[in-house]
């Protein structure tokens, strides 16, 4: 994990490997080398997902997966743990001399973070048949690059078909990225479900004008409208209460000058809830606020959905197996929902799937300070090994 973390390393011990950038290519190349070193059959599909299988290549494997792309100011654990943990599991099984009834495979999926190309979990969504390859290729990133072009540029526009073959089962080991396990002194999180996610991009058009000579009553300030929406988003989450969360992560104004009223603002709103009807309520309350601001300030507001996923409930058989296995290995466990989206929720569309969480110190992630203690990484990987072996037997 430290070797992979050196690629795209940023100040503070973190990583920046936005999907399909040169740094992501470097990370992919390193992990593929490790897959080849284990003698695995490595296949790259049409959206750059990489699946490396051990055993009969014609049979559906027990698949272990996650991602190795990161956010712009990411850490070394998010995603990487699940992929490298999977490699470690396969290496351990190979070294042990045991041959399970079913093949094992490890995968990393393209653009899980969605930080460069929306929606997030793009690779696993396409793998599971939720997005057409042609549509995925035509997506344009925050830097204006087309996803299909970037795949070709970095050499990861693979020959294998997508959607991919449904695995026999899917298991993902991941850091919690929240404070719950650490706060409760729990070793292993048994993930029952994943929050629903709704991402909206807003474009607000006002009128640029002189900051000194334009009376307040005559302004059409796109920046003020954006700020009013951002404060409303916070109030919405507070009024609805947990588990509703709401975030304005991106906010830009133009021309972005001290003495010019903003003519244009773009911003994103990220809403999440484990309950679909509550998530819909949050979306509706937000949408109802836009015309109020637009009318009061005399601006035009356009909203576009960037990503929308309903909450997902994992297969009870896999969930029970994770819990039973962790306890058998002597770990304390807790059932919990995932606040973040994960590739596992896409694979859950096509096979029994589940997740294993290990604690995140301080609940911090998407931050260079993201950290999970070595003992917790090992505990998670051991649970993953035993779960996978049982599923493959």
Q: Is 256 in the site for its own copies (CB under 8 A)?
A: yes
Asked if residues 128 and 163 have their Cβ atoms less than 8 Å apart, the reply is: yes
The reply to whether 220 sits near its own copies by the rule CB under 8 A is no
Nearer to its own copies, 92 or 209 (CB): 209
Closest approach of its own copies to the CB of residue 289, in Å: 13
Which residues in 50-89 contact its own copies (CB under 8 A)? 71-73
Q: Quote the tokens at residue 259.
A: 């003495």
Calpha distance 48→164 (Å, rounded): 12
Stretch in the footprint of its own copies (CB under 8 A) among 46-54, 147-155, 251-259, 376-384: 251-259
Stretch that binds its own copies, among 30-38, 110-118, 160-168, 184-192 (CB under 8 A): 110-118
Is residue 280 close enough to count as binding its own copies by CB under 8 A?
no
One DSSP character per residue, 20-73 reads TSHHHHHHHHHHHHHHHHTT-EEEEBTT--EEEEES-TTSPPEEEEE-----TT
Contact flag: residue 332 with its own copies (CB under 8 A):
no
- Of 114 and 163, the one with the shorter C-beta distance to its own copies is 114
Among 155, 161, 255, 375, binds its own copies (CB under 8 A): 255
Pick 166 or 179: Cβ nearer its own copies: 179
Asked if residue 176 binds its own copies (CB under 8 A), the reply is yes
Q: Is the peptide bond before 247 cis (omega within 30 degrees of 0)?
A: no
Q: How far is the CB of 14 from its own copies (least distance, A)?
A: 10
> Which class for 149: exposed (0-12), middle (13-18), buried (19 or more C-beta within 10 A)?
middle
Question: Least CB distance from residue 180 to its own copies, whole Å?
Answer: 9
Binders of its own copies among residues 293 to 312 (CB under 8 A) are 306
Q: Which residue has the tokens 């015309």?
A: 291
| ∠ Cα 72 178 180 (to 5°) | 170
DSSP state of 360: -
SS3 content of the chain, % helix, strand, coil (to 5): 35, 25, 40
CA angle 324, 329, 335 (to 5 degrees): 40
Helix axes 276-297, 222-240, angle to 10 degrees: 150
Asked if 270 is part of the footprint of its own copies (rule: CB under 8 A), the reply reads yes
* Minimum CB distance to its own copies smaller for 234 or for 328: 234
Residue closer to its own copies by CB (options 203, 209) is: 209
Task: Assess 248 for contact with its own copies (CB under 8 A).
Answer: yes
Residue 203 found at the interface with its own copies (CB under 8 A): no
What count of residues does the chain have? 393
Using CB under 8 A as the binding rule, the residues of this chain from 8 to 47 that contact its own copies are none
For its own copies, which is the closer residue by CB, 365 or 386?
365
Contacts of its own copies in 365-384 (CB under 8 A): 365-367
> Which of the residues 117 through 136 are near its own copies (CB under 8 A)?
118, 120
Shortest spacing between CB 323 and its own copies, in angstroms: 20
Q: How many residues bind its own copies (CB under 8 A)?
A: 71
Rg of the chain in Å (alpha carbons) = 22
Q: Report the site for its own copies in 146-175 (rule: CB under 8 A).
A: none
Q: According to the binding rule CB under 8 A, does residue 334 interact with its own copies?
A: no
Q: What angle do CA 304, 306, 310 make, to 5 degrees?
A: 115
Structure tokens, 20 = 């399909």
């Amino acid at each position: 994990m430290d070797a992979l973390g050196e690629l795209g390393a940023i100040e503070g011990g973190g990583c920046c490997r936005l999907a399909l950038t040169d740094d992501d290519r470097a990370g992919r190349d390193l992990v593929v080398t490790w897959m080849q070193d284990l003698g695995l059959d490595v296949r790259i599909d049409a959206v750059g997902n990489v699946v490396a299988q051990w055993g009969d290549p014609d049979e559906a494997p027990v698949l272990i997966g996650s991602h190795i792309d990161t956010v712009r100011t990411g850490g070394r654990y998010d995603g990487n743990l699940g992929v490298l943990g999977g490699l470690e599991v396969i290496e351990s099984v190979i070294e042990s001399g045991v041959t399970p009834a079913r093949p094992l495979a490890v995968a990393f999926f393209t653009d899980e973070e969605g930080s460069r190309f929306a929606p997030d979990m793009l690779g696993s969504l396409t793998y599971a048949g939720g997005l057409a390859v042609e549509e995925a290729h035509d997506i344009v990133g925050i830097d204006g690059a087309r996803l299909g072009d970037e795949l070709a540029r970095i050499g990861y526009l693979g020959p294998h078909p997508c959607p991919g073959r449904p695995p026999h089962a899917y298991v993902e080991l991941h850091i919690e990225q929240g404070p719950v396990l650490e706060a409760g002194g729990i070793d292993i999180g048994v993930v029952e479900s994943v929050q629903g996610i709704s991402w909206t991009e807003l474009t607000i058009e006002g009128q640029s004008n002189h900051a000194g000579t334009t009376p307040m009553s005559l302004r059409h300030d796109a920046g003020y409208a954006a700020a009013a929406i951002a404060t409303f988003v916070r109030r919405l989450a507070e009024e609805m209460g947990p588990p509703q969360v709401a975030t304005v992560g991106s906010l830009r104004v133009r021309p972005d000058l001290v003495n010019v009223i903003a003519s244009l603002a773009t911003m994103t709103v990220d809403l999440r809830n484990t309950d679909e009807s509550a998530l819909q309520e949050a979306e509706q309350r937000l949408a109802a606020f836009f015309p109020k601001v637009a009318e009061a300030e005399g601006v035009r507001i356009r909203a576009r959905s960037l990503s929308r996923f309903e909450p997902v409930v994992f297969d009870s058989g896999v969930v029970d197996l994770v819990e039973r296995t962790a306890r058998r290995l002597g770990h304390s466990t807790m059932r919990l929902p995932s606040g973040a989206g994960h590739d596992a929720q896409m694979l859950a569309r096509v096979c029994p799937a589940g997740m294993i969480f290990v604690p995140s110190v301080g609940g911090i992630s998407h931050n260079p300070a993201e950290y999970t203690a070595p003992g917790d990484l090992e505990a998670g990987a051991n649970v993953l090994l035993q779960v996978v072996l049982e599923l493959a037997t």
